[in-house]
Amino acid sequence: MSPILSKKAKVALAVGTIILLESEKKKKRVWVKEWLQKREQFTHLRLLKCIQSCEPLDVINYLRMDYDAFQELLMLVKPLIEKKNTLFREAVSVEERLLATLRFLATGSSYEDLKFSCIISPQLLGRIIPETSRAIYNCLRKKYLCFPIKRRGMAQSSRRI
């Protein structure tokens, strides 16, 4: 019984297969998704500015605070959360960091859900939100989380509750 393919045919088939596999283009991975590069166009910041100019009362519903309180909080946390731009990419602004954190705290959305409204990747949100939350806590704790030092003061404050 003779073989179906000769040795030469088998070698030619193997070489042809290798050439085809080598020539197939591999799917390129993208560094950043295209829609994430359009943050300036779709961000919360643009929406906030529009709401503030058109319907100032809706700002309270959107931020869960008035715009002046937002600006005051922004000035407090800015030195703690501000990042520098690099040659490769522009840093997420302080305003966007604070807005993303406030929306996360107000809505309880997951990072995956929040990425569509903030136009920030969930991986970056996973770093921004805890960092900004710590900054808010550290800035506000002395003013709003003060405890009485004396025991008598503690007893009096617990009776009021």
pLDDT in tens, 67-99: 899 999 999 999 999 999 888 878 899 999 999
Closest CA to 125 of 142, 150, 105: 105
Closest CA to 128 of 105, 152, 147: 105
Q: Residue 39: which H helix or E strand, with range?
A: helix 39-42
Span 17-68, pLDDT tens digits:
887 777 665 666 655 666 666 666 667 777 788 888 888 888 888 888 988 9
Name the packing angle between helices 67-81 and 94-107 (round to 10°).
120
- CA dist list (Å): 96 to 46, 113, 119, 145: 10, 16, 10, 26
Task: Tell me the longest C-alpha to C-alpha distance in the chain.
Answer: 106
Is the Cα torsion angle 14, 17, 22, 28 positive or negative in sign? negative
Residue ranges in 82-121 assigned as alpha helix (H)? 94-107, 111-118
CB 44 within 8 A of CB 117: yes
Q: Of 2-6, 61-65, 121-125, 129-133, where does mean pLDDT reach its minimum? A: 2-6
Q: How many CB atoms lie within 10 A of CB 61?
A: 10
Q: What is the pTM of this model?
A: 0.66
